[in-house]
Structure 1
């Protein structure tokens, strides 16, 4: 298949060309959590630069996300938490110590310049991707700035302030009876699991390091509650897991989930801190091994939202996400 310029277009292993919407805001790389903080939004800009240099942007619809509004964020988050995020600045934080403690903002989740617009930007990309998928305007939507899976309804957690994933899934539920969430970040996808723990319309599946490791949740016995019982699935793993062992678990589990749950759409959180050599991670996945999960997920031909997440050895994060595109 050729594009207008006569270049051959990428197609899947089945020869079917996927239409891809890619969300990117050039400002995103300018946000800075502070000196010594492992989370560096600059990695999103590095990924984008690689995509540009490999000539991949011309094969996708490149979109600047529409910033999420207060009312969009309040579809999941508490009003008072959202207005706190909107108002807090590095200059005023000293006067709001009680609020900072209440909303868990400070150490891991610092107040930095432009914090709220950063949240609006990364959430806007994920919700925008869900809207595109809902209107069948693409087969795959990508937002590497998203995937911040630890944020809770009323508090920040683990470098995450707003849970863009929950917001995107809520958007997908307008159009789809069932949505599957899969998380290959090294950390447990606790914020997303918690949000949908009692519903059978969203199934959450998380592969993560378990045992004396943040956030400490994600036991194999945590399976959901009430109507949501058996719709949460946790795969707790030890240090050092490699590609072969990871796929030995990932493929049969996801294959069975797809067969039984039959989701109308899938959200895949592609946290790259599960790669070998990550600054905060302890797994031993190669970039190819990590990307094989994306390839496998794509092989089901179900509308797919790809999101970023963790990843703290940033040159590897950019390589990984570029390769996955």
Structure 2
């Protein structure tokens, strides 16, 4: 069993309280459900729990354009009618609506991934978990696919300060296009995405022929799959490809995006994976014993997302969870069985053995084209991001931090764990 301080887990209760709108499939509430399920299994007692800092606009602008960050900061549901040109320019609308506390939501989930990467860089943990992160579609200058800020790109940029090579793995049902695009021209990040491709499925990218360009040629790997893939086909392909990738590329750290929309029965997905099959990928990546940053991602059947990420938290903690879901605030969502299992998918598996074999051979062939563990030109490592301290006494008292903001930095007993407020769960405040 790992010592408790080797796994860091990031959560802020405010992240689950935003609302995308009545008919929108993205329900951040699933993050509260996940967190309370983690608590009900007592997994918090085996990890360090932190509330992430809210990422500063200037941190978000390390990848995103400053004008786009500024726009997200400024726009509100009440003022959006004044910004029709900018809404179109930055792709906000039906898929990526403007809602209350949008920017704070972005700051929290991006802050979690940045803090996770910093703890890994400083060797304060071996594994860092941010289920609120994993929003892999956001682009440098625009929102896309329910994603506004690409926390994964920001986390990878942070890891690159200490690691010459970072491996990104994505098991969301949708192609990890935003992350791939950000690192398409470099060999310092290898992106590997397993996803549904074809039939006009969002985002429409992720063909096996997309392999990177210039210095990044052969450092983007895409595994395009058809409807209905099951546990045995998926995990066999995953293990074959990822073991070869790690052996060839020899990354210093791994970022694993665990989008749960690849599970059977997802509202937007079309795969037949069980939670065990999905979690087997997490278990396999953990065995490499490399610094590991784990995030959430898609997932639109809320109770199954909570089940999946709780099981995977257990996997990362080497803890087998009892099948019967313990009493918790959201227990009614897990009825009538109140079990961790999810029903099998009934989508026909259109991935023939010969199709999967062709994809596998293509990927392994591309891997043979890169030098063994490429010698990356080491750039000067930029310093950790400097955020100035504010002297409260010099601030205009009317502009001082308001009580609501102050209160949010104080840990609530019910948010992190049931029971007494012991000192093992210090909050990591900025």
How many residues get paired? Answer: 312
Residue 154 (structure 2) aligns with:
167
Deviation at 1:17, TM superposition (A): 7.8
SS at match of 2:83: helix
Deviation at 1:248, TM superposition (A): 1.7
Residue 193 (structure 2) aligns with:
206
Residue 7 (structure 1) aligns with:
none
Among 267, 284, 297, the alignment partner of 2:272 is 284
Aligned partners of 2:175, 2:103: CA distance in 1, in Å? 25
Aligned partners of 2:142, 2:32: CA distance in 1, in Å? 27
Structure 2: runs of 5+ lacking an equivalent:
314-430
SS at match of 1:204: strand
SS at match of 1:323: helix
Alignment of 1:290-301 (within 5 A): 290-301=278-289
Aligned partners of 1:305, 1:45: CA distance in 2, in Å? 20
SS at match of 1:27: helix
Answer yes or no: is 1:217 the counterpart of 2:244.
Answer: no
Q: Judge conservation of contact 2:4–2:47 (CA < 8 Å) in 1.
A: no
Cα deviation 1:116-160 (Å, max 9, x = unaligned): 000000000001000000000000000000000000000000000
Runs of 4+ residues over 3 Å off in structure 1: none
Answer yes or no: is 1:63 the counterpart of 2:50.
Answer: yes
Q: Give the alignment's TM-score, normalised by structure 1.
A: 0.95
Residue 271 (structure 1) aligns with:
259
Q: Give the alignment's TM-score, normalised by structure 2.
A: 0.72
Deviation at 1:28, TM superposition (A): 1.1
Aligned partners of 1:161, 1:98: CA distance in 2, in Å? 17
Cα deviation 1:243-279 (Å, max 9, x = unaligned): 0000121001000000010000000000000000000
Aligned partners of 1:17, 1:117: CA distance in 2, in Å? 30
Residue 192 (structure 1) aligns with:
179
CA RMSD of aligned residues (A): 0.9
Q: Judge conservation of contact 1:43–1:318 (CA < 8 Å) in 2.
A: yes
Residue 9 (structure 2) aligns with:
22
Cα separation, partners in 2 of 1:70 and 1:17, compared to 1, 3 Å: closer
Cα separation, partners in 2 of 1:186 and 1:116, compared to 1, 3 Å: same
Residue 113 (structure 2) aligns with:
126
Deviation at 1:18, TM superposition (A): 7.8
Residue 136 (structure 1) aligns with:
123
Alignment of 1:75-90 (within 5 A): 75-90=62-77
SS at match of 1:112: coil
Cα deviation 1:172-203 (Å, max 9, x = unaligned): 00000000000000000000000000000000
Aligned partners of 2:222, 2:245: CA distance in 1, in Å? 12
Q: Judge conservation of contact 1:18–1:140 (CA < 8 Å) in 2.
A: no
Q: Judge conservation of contact 2:5–2:47 (CA < 8 Å) in 1.
A: no
SS at match of 1:280: coil
Residue 245 (structure 1) aligns with:
233
Structure 1: runs of 5+ lacking an equivalent:
1-9
